[in-house]
Amino acid sequence: MTTRSEREKAQKLNEQHQAILSKLLREDHNKHCADCEAKGPRWASWNLGVFMCIRCAGIHRNLGVHISRVKSVNLDQWTPEQIQSMVDMSNARARQLYEAHLPESFRRPQTDQAVEVFIRDKYERKKYFDKEALTTAPKSSEAAAPSTSPSSQADRSRQEKERDKKKEEKKKEKEADKGERLNNTKQSECRASPKKSTEPAVDLLGLDERTLCTGGFCLQQHGNRSLFGQHGLSVILLLIKQHKDNEDQFR
């Protein structure tokens, strides 16, 4: 279900298309039917780019949509592509293309049957068609100015914004991936490099030295190591104890 804004937009676009079609119909070569030259055509074959009367429009419908696609100038909705096709071709250029080899003495048919034969010869069988006319045919009128309709401009603008948005998203993703890879690399380096073992500080001033005195003997000890080693220290302590015991006996 369409919203109000969408309906208003479609209505505005349709009014613009109607203005373009009306301007095309005011041109001299579009004031008559492209096939039978009846005045005031109000129908068109948008893929062939010609304006026609209601009788010829019925014959065009019988040709099939693979040859001619008919629309009413006023009653049907037109797309920007269909409008552009009418602007690019119109009756004058279509005649140069589809009636290039029409005999000079040729008279436009008036009866329904004769008109149908002529239309089939012209568009279905391409009896009078000349491909060289494509390179020499003049451009249509200044009605081509609205070729870049607001709808097509809006579509292009929207597509450009979407492309810019996608580029910006890709750029952010790349930056995020780069940052994540850098972070992972730093973590790997931290795990790979072993921690430095903490070595005991060297006591250059002898502040860590302790002196053990007992029984008149003094032993200098550096940290946890004596000058005689752990075993020598035990022996000396034993001798000191024995010496002390002997002194106690003589007393």
pLDDT above 90: percentage of residues in the chain: 46
User: At 142, is the pLDDT very low, low, confident or very high (cuts 50, 70, 90)?
Assistant: very low
- My answer on whether 135 and 27 are in the same domain is yes
Q: Which of 134, 155, 176 is the last residue of a domain?
A: 155
Residue 206 pLDDT > 70: no
What average pLDDT is seen over the chain?
78
Angle at 102 between CA 101 and CA 106, to 5 degrees: 160
Residue 235 pLDDT > 70: no
Does residue 189 lie within any of the structural domains?
no
Does residue 197 lie within any of the structural domains?
no
- My answer on whether 136 and 52 are in the same domain is yes
Quote the CA–CA distance of 106 and 108 in Å, as a whole number.
Answer: 7
CA–CA distance from 44 to each of 49, 50, 57 (Å)? 7, 6, 7
Does residue 83 lie within any of the structural domains?
yes
Domain that holds residue 38: 4-155
- Which amino acid, residue 83? I
Question: Tell me: the pLDDT tens digits for 216-232?
Answer: 545 555 444 544 455 56
Q: Which of 149-163, 181-195, 205-219 has the highest mean pLDDT?
A: 181-195
Of 133 and 16, the one with more pLDDT = 16
Of 226 and 248, the one with more pLDDT = 248
Residue 246 pLDDT > 90: no
pTM, two decimal places? 0.53
Number of domain units in the chain: 2
CB distance 34 to 50 below 8 Å:
yes
- My answer on whether 104 and 223 are in the same domain is no
Does residue 196 lie within any of the structural domains?
no
Quote the CA–CA distance of 197 and 201 in Å, as a whole number.
Answer: 12
CATH assignment of the domain containing 99: 1.10.220.150
- My answer on whether 227 and 103 are in the same domain is no
Does residue 183 lie within any of the structural domains?
no
Residue 248 pLDDT > 70: no
Question: Tell me: the pLDDT tens digits for 101-141?
Answer: 999 899 999 999 999 999 999 999 999 998 776 555 554 44
